[in-house]
Each structure stands twice: as structure tokens, then as C-alpha cells.
Amino acid sequence: MSDTSHTSETAAFETLAVHAAEPRPAHGGSVVHPLYQGTVFETVPGQAYDDLQYIRLNTNPSQEYLHRKLAALEGAETALATASGMAAITTTLLATLGAGDHLIAAGAFYGGTHHFLTEQAPRLGWTVDFVDPDDHDAWTEALRPQTKAFIVETISNPLARVADLEGIAAFSREHRLTSIIDNTFATPVVFRPHAIGFDLVCHSATKALNGHSDLVAGVVTGSHEQVAVVRHVLNLYGGSLDPHAGFLLARGLKTLALRVRQQGATALALAQFLNGHNAVAEVNYPGLDTHPDHARAAALFDGYGSVLSFRPAGGVEAAEAILKALRLPYVAPSLGGVESLITRPAITSHAGMSPEERAAEGIHDDLIRFSTGIEAAEDLIADFRRALGD
């Protein structure tokens, strides 16, 4: 297969998104990479098990093409697509930790990740300490001889906090821990964690990487050595991504920068509107200068992402009224799509947590999460203005 000989590694992100990993000359002259749906390929004598061409082993030509494009966008040596975002997170942890090992987890997490770490980790023989993402002393206190990894989210779900990411990467290097980060909310358009030293980067590609709310997928990126270990575990657990879903994901990646930047600009405008409204008690968006992590986000990121959350002044009843009154966003979980989505995390993304666990993380029942689509900012603001009774 030909290399991408027409794309410089220093090209702008928009150019990489379109041209990275595209073979030149193109297959049969097609400017769109073909979809290889086949499971069966001729074998080559002497191939190792993980190198056999087979969909479950992630070696189908369509899968390999997608991996090269994902790696280029995240600035990694290599990448691996998985059947879901949770498959990306759990397989990465399974490849990193064994029975008796210890994990440090910084800050609040997506409900599925939190549920896995609190419910499944003990069954696997792991121990987990949840620590303040800004408290270096707490990280040191949590450290033990069995500690193998440190995990964090770039922008936390759903409160949009930004941890001391540079500190976590440095701490992990100092103590020879594998640093793992969920970059779903930021995307590589906003932040590339490998650039500051993170080992393994995970995504739910269901969200912004695809951007069209029509597939489920996950991503792991990192060094050849570390991703090979993750891929071996994934091969055994069978969580590979179907090539057709990968074909759709590669298509979505080509417009990633355009979508994320548009969504981020609109999210900031909407957050500023809500932040000044007397019917809103609290707004969580790192682009606001009132956000506790704004300075850190401004220094690290190129933009602030497409997701914000807020609490209305009237509690759960007011939150439900807002969801019913809005006309443009869909009342649905997930995020990162071209259409705006709105939900209450307490009954969707974080419903698997107990009320006490949610309260401890600041995820109140009246908290509303909003994923900004590509609609015009003025139309979304007008919709909210009407829903809030202006």
C-alpha cells in the first residue's frame, strides 16, 4: 500500500484530517479509501497470530487505514480502533493492570468509567484511589509499590473541569506509571495529550470524532510498543471495530476541525448568555473567565470544546421545564454530533452512580448538560431565551 506522500507532518490540522493516511496513488483512482468488508485473507507463512489479516485482529486493510489516520490526528506513533469508547477505556486498563495492581484516578469521570472502576476493578483484583486532580500531595499519598497507572479526563464529564494535566503527566513519568487520558471532550483539535507526555490517549469516537450520531466506536493511541499490548488484549476479548463503522468514522474525521471549532465558538457564546441570565444559578464551561480552570485551559488548549453544563435557579422542576420548552436540541444523551443534544446526567450518563456518589462529585439532579451542534449560535440563544421565559 502506498504512503501518504503528499502530506507533511507539519501540515495544519485541517489538512491532516483530509489527507493523512490517504494512499497516493489512490486505489483505482478513487479519492475515497475503499471499504474492505471481508473477514478472510490469504495468509503469509511465518506471520505471528496478531499479524494475521482478520477483522477481529484489527488487521483488515480498512482498519489499518483508519488506524493510520487516527494516529496522525492525535500525534501518536500508532492507533487502535475499538467497538466502543468503553471498550477503549476498559481494554487499555486490562492491558495495563493485573491482579494486585493499583490505579490512581484523578477527578470525576464519565458514569460508565466510574462504574467500571468501582464495580469491576475489585473483581479483577485491582485497587483504585480517586484523588483530587489538583492536589499533588494526595497523588503522593495514594502512591504505593503496586501502583501501575494514573488516569484522568482532559475535560471532565459533565462539570467541564480541567485537571492539572501537565502535573499528572510529569508525576506519572517520575514514578514510572502509565499515564492514561480520556480526550473525548477535547478532541485532538483542542488538545493533543501526547505532546505533554501522556502515554495512552482514549476516545469515545461515537462522539465528536465521528460527529454524526450514527455509529459507536472507540480509539486508543500511543507508542507502537504500548498500543501493541492493548491490541493483543483487544484481540482476545473481541472488541474490534467493524470496517463499515470504521469507514463512516474516517469520513467523519475529515470534517472534525471544522465542526469542533464551530461548536466551540457557539458553546462559548451560549455559555456567556446563560452565565448572565437570572434564571441560571451556575454555568460550567472552561471558556468562561469565571470558570475555576479557565487560565489552565487557555494555556493548554486551542479552544474549549463543545460541551457545557448548567443548573437552573429553580431546581429539578425548572430543569425539566427547560428541556420540554427548547425546540432545537434533542433531549438525548451522547455528545459531539452536528445536532445539539441536551440531557440531565443524573438520569442518563451518570445514572449508574448512586445518588451519594453523584452528590460527592457535584453532579446534582438539576444539572443539565448541553452538547452544542453546528446550528447558528443566534438560533440556539434565541431558543434558550424563549425557554427561560424572556
From first to last of its 390 residues, the chain has per-residue pLDDT tens of 444 446 666 789 999 999 999 998 888 899 999 999 999 899 888 889 898 999 999 999 999 999 999 999 999 999 999 999 999 999 999 999 999 999 999 988 998 999 999 999 999 999 999 999 999 999 999 999 999 999 999 999 999 999 999 999 999 999 999 999 999 999 999 999 999 999 999 999 999 999 999 999 999 999 999 999 999 999 999 999 999 999 999 999 999 999 999 999 999 999 999 999 999 999 999 999 999 999 999 999 999 999 999 999 999 999 999 999 999 999 999 999 999 999 999 988 888 888 888 888 888 999 999 999 999 999 999 999 999 998
- CA dist 210 to 187, 273, 337, Å? 11, 28, 8
For residue 27, the model assigns a pLDDT of 83
Write the DSSP assignment of 336-378 as a string of letters.
-SSS-EEE-GGGTTTTTS-HHHHHHHT--TT-EEEE--SS-HH
> Of the candidates 290, 281, 285, which has an alpha carbon nearest to the alpha carbon of residue 271?
285
Four-CA torsion 231, 333, 187, 174, nearest 10 degrees:
-60
β-bridge mates for residue 312, sequence order: 280
Alpha-carbon dihedral 124, 144, 171, 96, rounded to 10 degrees? -20
| C-beta separation of 99 from 108 below 8 A | no
Catalytic one among 36, 54, 65, 110?
110
Instruction: Give the pLDDT of residue 354.
Output: 84
Verify whether residue 56 is a known catalytic residue: yes
- 193: cis peptide before it, omega within 30°? no
Of 50, 56, 129, 251, catalytic? 56
Whether the CB-CB separation of 58 and 235 falls below 8 Å is answered with yes
Question: What is the H or E stretch that residue 151 is in?
Answer: strand 147-153
Three-state DSSP state, 118: helix
Angle at 269 between CA 267 and CA 274, to 5 degrees: 90
Contact 33, 22 (CB under 8 A): yes
Which three cell numbers, joined as nine digits, stand for 387?
425557554
Query: How far, in Å, CA of 239 to CA of 39, rounded?
Result: 15
CB 258, CB 14: distance < 8 Å: yes
DSSP secondary structure code for residue 57 in this structure: G
Residue 209: closest CA among 173, 243, 162, 245: 245
Backbone dihedral region for residue 40 (phi beyond 0: left; psi -120 to 50: alpha; all else: beta): beta
- Residue 94: its H or E element: helix 85-96
Question: Could you say which of 68, 161, 207, 358 is catalytic?
Answer: 207
CA atoms within 13 A on the CB side of 111: 18
**What angle in degrees, to the nearest 10, is found between the helix axes of 377-387 and 256-275?**
30
| Residue at grid coordinates 463543545 | 306
Q: What is the radius of gyration, based on Cα positions, of the chain?
A: 21
* Cis amide leading into 345 (omega within 30): no
Average pLDDT, the chain: 95
Phi, psi of 130 (to 5 degrees): -90, 125
Residue 282: strand pairing partners: 311
Please, are residues 117 and 109 in contact by the beta-carbon 8 Å criterion? yes
Selecting among 101, 134, 164, 182, the annotated active-site residue is 182
Q: Enumerate domains of the chain plus CATH numbers.
A: 13-253 (3.40.640.10), 257-387 (3.90.1150.10)
Hey, how many other C-beta atoms are within 10 angstroms of the C-beta on 267? Answer: 26
> Quick one: cell of 342?
441536551
| Region of residue 309 (phi > 0: left; psi between -120 and 50: alpha; otherwise: beta) | beta
Grid cell 488484549 is found at: 233
Amino acid 28: pLDDT: 87
d(CA 226, CA 91): 12
**pLDDT value at position 353?**
81
